[in-house]
Amino acid sequence: MLRRLFAPLWWRSSTRWLISGALYVVMYAGTASAASAVTERYVAVVAEGQMGTLAVARAGERVDIDYRIDNNGRGPKVHESIRLGREGLPVDWRIEGSRDKGAPLRETYRFSGGTASWKSLEDSGTARSDAAPIYVPNDASPWSQGLYLRALLKAPGGKRSALPGGVLRAEKLRDVNVGSGEFAQQVQVFALWGIDISPQLVLTRSNGEFFGTIDARMVLVPVGYEREYEPLTRLASELNRTYLQQLTQRLLHRYDQPIYLRNVRVFDSKRATLGEPTTVVVFRDRIVSVRSDAVPPADAVIVEGEGGTLLPGFTDMHSHVSFDSGWDLPLFLAGGVTSVRDVGGDNEVLLDLKRATETGALIGPRMFLSGFLEGRSQYSARYGFVVDQVPTALEKLRWYADHGFWGIKIYNSMPPDFVAPIAAEAHRLGLHVSGHVPAFMTSEAAVRAGYDEINHMNQLLLSFVLDGKEDTRTPLRFTAVGERMGTLDLGSEPVRRMIALMQERGIAVDVTMAGLEWMLLTRPGVSPPSMTSWLSHMPAPFQRSRRTSVLDMKPEQLPQYRASWEKLLQALKLLHDAGIRILPGTDDKAGLLLPSELEVYGRAGIPKTQVLQLATLECARLLGRDQDLGSIESGKLADLMLVDGDPTQDLNVLRKVRLVMKNGDVILPEEVFSTMGIEPFGRQPTLVLPRS
C-alpha cells in the first residue's frame, strides 16, 4: 500500500505488482543471442482476468527481463539486464525504463574485486564484501524476489543484510500443489520480509527457482497456471490472516476493569480548545466520565498521561485497506487512526476485513466502505465493479447498498452521461457519492450531476487548466497539475462559480495534499517536507524508494512545479475560508501520512485547532457517527489517542502517539511499530495494572 496516490492501485518500488498490457521481449545488444536464450513467460491475473505479463530470457549466467504495467493509464515499464555470479546473485545489474507515473528510472549495480558499487538517478554508493551481497534495487521486477530467497535460504536463520541497507529474512510457510495434468506440480510458499513493512509471498519450484508471487487480490504465475487464481488468492488471504491474528493476540490489550487516564489534557473538538489536566475514565467500550476529581478504585488500570494531550481518534478519509491484504490495519491504530473510509478495492476482501475488525479477530480501525464503480475502457482500473451500461451500474449500486457499504466512488473511465442516473439511484439507496471527475467532464458538471464529494484536490481543479478534450485517464491528470496549476487564477469567474456551487450544495473535498506534495516536489534523492519527518523510521528499502522521482519532471521545471504546489496550498486555504468541508485523507501508507496531511493544512494557514477538528469531529459528522465518535465526552465510544506534547501549538507532535484506544481496547504504538520493523516515534506510557 500508492499505497497509493490518486487511484485505488499503486506501484511501490520492488513491492507492487499489478500488471496490465502486452509485454514483449527486447534482447540487449551484447547479451546472449535469442536463439540460445530460454524465455520464461508469466501472467498477472486478477478476478477479471489477465492484467499483464512478465518475460524472463535466460542464457547461462545472462538474464534479460521485460516488465510492463499499463493500469489506468499508468505503470512502470522496466527492462533489466543481469549477469549472475557463482553464488546465483547478480554481479552486474542494469535497470532502465519509467516508473508508475512516468518518471525515468535508471540504475546500475556491479560487484567486482570485493567491492559492490551502485548508481541510480537518486543515489550512489560502494561497499566492501568478501562475497556477492544481496542488492535490492529501487525498481526491480518481482523476479528479483526469487534471487533474494535463494540467497537467504543458505544463510543462518534465513536472514542476511542487504545493500544499500536493511535486513531481509525468508520464512517458509508451506508446500502447495498447483495445476493439473501436465501442469501439476508442488511449489513452496515463502514469506519474504524486509523489502516493505508487510511480507511478500513468493512461490518457488521444487528446485528453488522462482515460480511467482501471490496476494489476496492478484497472482503472478507462469503461463498455463491462470486458473490457479482463486485457490492461490485464497491461500494468500489465509496466510496473511494467520499472521495478523497472531499479531492481534500480541498487540491488542483488552481490560475488563475501569481504565483511568490520569493527568491528560483533553482536546475539546467541539470548541477547538485544549483543557487543563484532568482524568478520563473508560469502562469497556465507552467513556464513563471526564473529571479532575476522579479517584481510581483498587481494580482500576491506570495510565499515567504525564500532561500529554488526549484527542479523539483520527479518521483517514481516503484509504485502500485491501491493497495490503490487511497489513495496514495495525499501522492505522499505531498512528492514532481509529476509523478509516476505504474508497475502493476488492469488495470481498474489504467485507472480510471489516467483519474481522468488528468482531475483534483482527486488530484494526472501524471501517466505512465506499464501493468502487468504474466505466469500461482501455484505461479501466479493475477494482470493485467495471460497468459499460447504466442498468448494470444501477444493479451494482444495489449490491453495494445490500452489503452495507456507506457510499460509492466513481472513477475516471465512467461515461459522463452515466453519472446523473448513478448518483440519483445512489442517493435513493442512501449512499454517499464521491469520486474522481470522469474524463471529459468538469468538476462543476460532476457536482451538478449529483456528486456529494470530490476526491483529491487535483481532480477538483484540473477542469480549470485543461481544454475539455484532454484525456485525464492518462498521466496528464498528474503532469498537468505540476505544469499548469501555478498559473491558475483562483479569483477567476469559473473558480468563484464552482466555490459558490459547492457552498450551496454542501460539497466536500477529500484533498490528499501530502500525496500531491510528494508527487510534485520529490526529485532524485530528495523527499519533500511531508515525508522527511517520518521516513527515517522506515525499513531501508522503503526509505530509498520514497526518494525517487514520481513524475517525469525535468530539472528546469522545478520552479514551475513549486509554483503549482504553492497554488494548491492557496486553494486549500481558499476552500477552508469559504466554509467548504475539507476531509483529511492520505491515499498512502497507513497511519504514517495522516500527520503529514494535517501538517500541510497548518502550513497552508488553517489554524491548528481547526485542523484537529477536521480530523476528528468533522469526519465523524460526515460519516453520520458524531453521536458516538469525534469528541471526548461521557457516553461516547472510547476511541482515543494520547500524544506527547501540545498539537494545538505544534502539529508535529501528532507522530508521538503513546497510547491508542479503539472501543476501549488498548494499543501501544511502540509495540506495533517495533513488531513491523519501524522505529517507534513515541515512548510507551506507564501502565499500572491492578494486583491479581
Which pLDDT tens digit goes with each residue over 74-123? 778 899 999 999 889 999 999 999 988 888 999 999 999 999 999 999 99
What pLDDT is recorded for position 112? Answer: 96
Question: Could you write out the DSSP letters of every residue in 33-66?
Answer: -TTT-EEEEEEEEETTEEEEEEEEEEETTEEEEE
Q: Which of 137, 131, 134 is nearest to 76 (CA)?
A: 137
CA 675/CA 327 separation, integer angstroms = 12
Whole-model pTM? Answer: 0.90
Q: Is the CB of residue 534 less than 8 Å from the CB of residue 586?
A: no
- Superfamily of chain region 256-312+630-692: Urease, subunit C, domain 1 (2.30.40.10)
Name which CATH class applies to 314-624: alpha beta
With both helix axes pointing from N to C terminus, report the angle between 416-428 and 390-402 in degrees, rounded to the nearest 10: 30
Pairing, β 134-135 against β 167-178: unpaired
- CA–CA distance, 610 with 270 (Å, rounded to integer): 10
Q: Give me 416's grid cell.
A: 459522463
Task: Say which residues have a Cβ less than 8 Å from residue 168's Cβ, sequence separation at least 6.
Answer: 134, 136, 148, 152, 159, 160, 161, 162, 192, 193, 194, 195
Extents of the domains making up the chain = 38-250, 256-312+630-692, 314-624
559-563, long-range: CB < 8 A, 24+ apart: 560/482, 560/483, 560/486, 561/482, 561/483, 561/486, 561/520, 561/521, 562/520, 562/521, 563/486, 563/487
Evaluate whether 256-312+630-692 and 314-624 have a shared fold: no
With 0-12 / 13-18 / 19 or more C-beta atoms within 10 angstroms meaning exposed / middle / buried, residue 233 is buried
pLDDT at res. 28 = 36
* Other beta carbons within 10 Å of 536: 10
Q: Are 237 and 219 in contact (CB under 8 A)?
A: no
The phi, psi pair for 290, rounded to 5°, reads -130, 100
SS3 of residue 617 by DSSP: helix
Cβ 433 vs Cβ 451: under 8 Å: yes
Helical H runs in 546-668?
A: 558-577, 594-603, 608-613, 619-622
Residue numbers in the chain where pLDDT is lower than 50: 1-34
Residue 114 to residue 469: CA distance in whole angstroms:
57
Tens of pLDDT, residues 244-294: 999 999 999 999 999 999 999 999 999 999 999 999 999 999 999 999 998
For residues 651 and 324, the answer to whether their CB atoms sit within 8 Å is no
For the chain, the 3-state helix, strand and coil shares in percent, each to the nearest 5, are 30, 30, 40
Decide: 642 and 307 in contact? Cβ < 8 Å.
no
Tally of CB atoms within 10 A around 34 = 12
Cβ–Cβ under 8 Å, residues 460 and 442 = no
Cell of 259: 481504565
